[in-house]
Amino acid sequence: MPPFEDQRTTIYKVDPEHPESATLPTLRTEELLLNMGPQHPSTHGVLKVILELEGERLVKSTPVMGFLHRGVEKLAEEGTYHQFIPHTDRLDYVCAMYNNFAYCRAVEKLMNLTVPERADYLRTIVAEVQRIIGHQFWLGTQALDIGAMTVFFYCFRDREILLDWFDELCGARLTTSWYRIGGVERDLTESLLAKLRQFLDYFPPKIDEYVVFLEKNRIWLARTKGVAVISAEDALSFGLSGPTLRGSGVDYDLRKYEPYAAYPRCEFSVPVGKNGDTYDRYWIRVQELYESVKIIRQCLEQMQEGPIMADVPSVTLPPKERVFTNLESMIQQFKLFSQGFNAPPGEIYCGTEAHKGELGFYIVSAGGGKPYRLKIRAPSFIHMGAFDHMSKGYMIADAVTIFGTYDIVMGECDR
Amino acid sequence: MSVIAKRIEESFPTGFIKAVEWRGDVAIAVKREALHQVASFLREDPAMAFDYIIHVSSVDWPDEEERFEVVYELYSIRHRHRIRLKTRVPESDCVVDSLTGLWKGADFMEREVYDMMGIRFRNHPDLRRILMPDEYEEGYPLRKDFPLRGKGWRDTFEFLDEPSR
């Protein structure tokens, strides 16, 4: 008998006396398991998600992570505090500067170190430049994943300018390691300042351009509005942070809640969404681009001449030119890198508002030059915890949007 | 001593061990049996209202009697205060009550602690390894007695271009 033959006959076998008794045949339903990843382009790295599907609807999704696990927390226990800075570059490799920043702030809190004012301004400027890069990267790739390719080229064209700027600043485009415990590695030169000012004039009209491409794009709107909705209460309970949380209407931003560096001296607003969907998060990120430009402008205006490194010889590194000419500085540099500084026993947690969310370092010191335990609170990892909750009931194609809505980077997620 | 620590000490005289304030961070150590009660008090009490979980972590102190320390970091968006809640477990019986029922985000964070340190969480809905492979059986990498180079598992991989070792 061919398949469905029996069903067809049941449809036609209606008792003419009682037509209401006719029932449609029951269709066989079965849940389908589908592996998405580990090498799907939208996962931005190596992430596998096992999707349980009912038709095209997601019933349950189980993220399988750890493909990029390198044991960074274990490595931290084996090196000195200074030596860990380059490792932080490799956490969120899209935005290395902010990782350096968050880590250095945590160690400064542990050592009770105050950073000179100029260094604070420099840190804020570079961190905001990094935030612009991060949001451009997000916007470009998210649009590409969803089906709007042009924005990707526009974003990456402008991102390239800033990466070249980083190259001139510290000699690397992505793995920067420019921040130091107690300050920064080197000052902005005249040429860098001029280039940055030029970029600040150039950039705001370009943001408008990105928006023009998306605001009336029906595909973009259909695939972001009302997708990956999460209520404020759930978002807090899951520990989401950054634009992912602010999209739900919670104005939690550490730059305002617990101001650090030069942020308390700058005026800026924190955009907050309403509906908690991907579109609101997109809107927040675009607004943050404008805010970042504003912050950098104010910092450039307010910044005064001064030292860029705290002068605490037992902790901070000596200026590089002195290392090569002065014996004491050379000994200091050697001791700091071979033995490290002596941290007091204790434990601290220090969170920093990176562009993805709250990037925090929990450091336990048992005295000595190495951290006894270093835990990284990575926003990407914690956002993945909410993936199952946020993807329930959406179409399979929306899974791509939901990865993107967190701005996920696996280097940080797996550590 | 901070207001929060004082409230906890008054409400849980038997479970409370000590409160330490250092560099502006308040850390409260409680007994393992009281952890869940203290945590739900912190979440439900209107003066506390810790609605946001920051991270769950663990520390290994191999020389001490109660070897492992489980650390919860909590924040209240409404009152803008934070607290670190800590509890100790011995190696012979390293089980803590899971706080997944209070903060949904604790799910993945506790799984990570289990994966890295081998501390089990009672009533956790899905306690599996999360970063290490499921079939990994060499122990828990962040314990202090685990060597940095690993225990030889990676030497067993077969390389395509080379003869197997």
In this structure, is residue A282 part of a structural domain?
yes
B142 and A73: CB-CB below 8 Å?
yes
Q: Is B21 on the interface with A (CB under 8 A)?
A: no
Higher pLDDT, residue B162 or A107: A107
- Model confidence at A10: pLDDT above 60: no
A382 and B109: CB-CB below 8 Å?
yes
Q: Is B149 on the interface with A (CB under 8 A)?
A: no
Q: Rounded mean pLDDT of chain A?
A: 86
- Percent of chain A predicted with pLDDT > 90: 22
B148 to chain A: which residues are within 8 Å by CB? 74-75, 78
At A274 the pLDDT is 87
Is the complex ipTM higher than 0.85? yes
In this structure, is residue A321 part of a structural domain?
yes
Q: What is the pLDDT of residues A130-162, one digit of tens each?
A: 999 999 999 988 888 888 888 889 999 999 999
Confidence bin at A104 (pLDDT 50/70/90): very high
- The ranges assigned to domains in chain B are 3-156
At A404 the pLDDT is 83
At A9 the pLDDT is 46
A109 and B23: CB-CB below 8 Å?
yes
What is this structure's pTM? 0.87
Q: Is A389 on the interface with B (CB under 8 A)?
A: yes
Among A74, A110, A377, the residue with its CB nearest the CB of B55 is A377
In this structure, is residue A49 part of a structural domain?
no
B153 to chain A: which residues are within 8 Å by CB? none
How confident is chain B (165 residues) per 10-residue block, as mean pLDDT? Answer: 81 84 88 88 85 90 88 89 90 88 89 90 88 83 84 73 62
In this structure, is residue A2 part of a structural domain?
no
Confidence bin at A213 (pLDDT 50/70/90): confident
- Model confidence at A353: pLDDT above 70: yes
Instruction: Name the CATH code of domain B3-156 (choices 3.40.50.150, 3.40.50.2300, 3.30.460.80, 3.40.1360.10).
Output: 3.30.460.80
In this structure, is residue A165 part of a structural domain?
yes
A66 and B132: CB-CB below 8 Å?
yes
- Model confidence at A2: pLDDT above 60: no
In this structure, is residue A338 part of a structural domain?
yes
Among A346, A349, A373, the residue with its CB nearest the CB of B73 is A349
Gap between the Cα atoms of A354 and A331, Å rounded: 35
**Sheet of B81-89, strands arranged across:** B16-22, B25-30, B81-89, B68-76, B52-60
Residue pairs spanning A and B at CB distance below 8 A: 98
- B130: nearest Cα among A350, A386, A413, A65: A65
At A362 the pLDDT is 92
At A7 the pLDDT is 47
Report the gap between the CA of B28 and the closest CA in chain A (Å): 12
- Model confidence at A302: pLDDT above 50: yes
A250 and B104: CB-CB below 8 Å?
no
What domain range includes position A328?
A: 71-414
Q: What is the pLDDT of residues A217-245, one digit of tens each?
A: 888 888 888 888 888 888 988 989 989 89
- Model confidence at A304: pLDDT above 80: yes
- Percent of chain A predicted with pLDDT > 70: 93
- Model confidence at A194: pLDDT above 90: yes
The structural domain count of chain A equals 1
B80 to chain A: which residues are within 8 Å by CB? 257
B105 and A239: CB-CB below 8 Å?
yes
Q: What is the pLDDT of residues A164-175, one digit of tens each?
A: 999 999 888 888
Q: Which of B21, B22, B57 should we substitute to test contact with A (largest number of A Cβ atoms within 10 Å)? A: B57
A364 and B59: CB-CB below 8 Å?
yes
Q: What is the pLDDT of residues B135-152, one digit of tens each?
A: 887 788 888 888 887 777
pLDDT mean over A198-224: 88
A234 and B104: CB-CB below 8 Å?
yes
The CATH number for A313's domain is: 1.10.645.10
- Model confidence at A8: pLDDT above 60: no
In this structure, is residue A108 part of a structural domain?
yes
Q: What is the 3-state secondary structure (H, E, C) of chain B?
A: CCHHHHHHHHHCCCCEEEEEEECCEEEEEECHHHHHHHHHHHHHCCCCCCCEEEEEEEEECCCCCCCEEEEEEEEECCCCEEEEEEEEECHHHCEEECCCCCCCCHHHHHHHHHHHHCCEEECCCCCCCCCCCCCCCCCCCCCCCCCCCCCCHHHHCCCCCCCCC
Q: What is the pLDDT of residues A85-98, one digit of tens each?
A: 999 988 888 888 98
- Model confidence at A39: pLDDT above 80: no
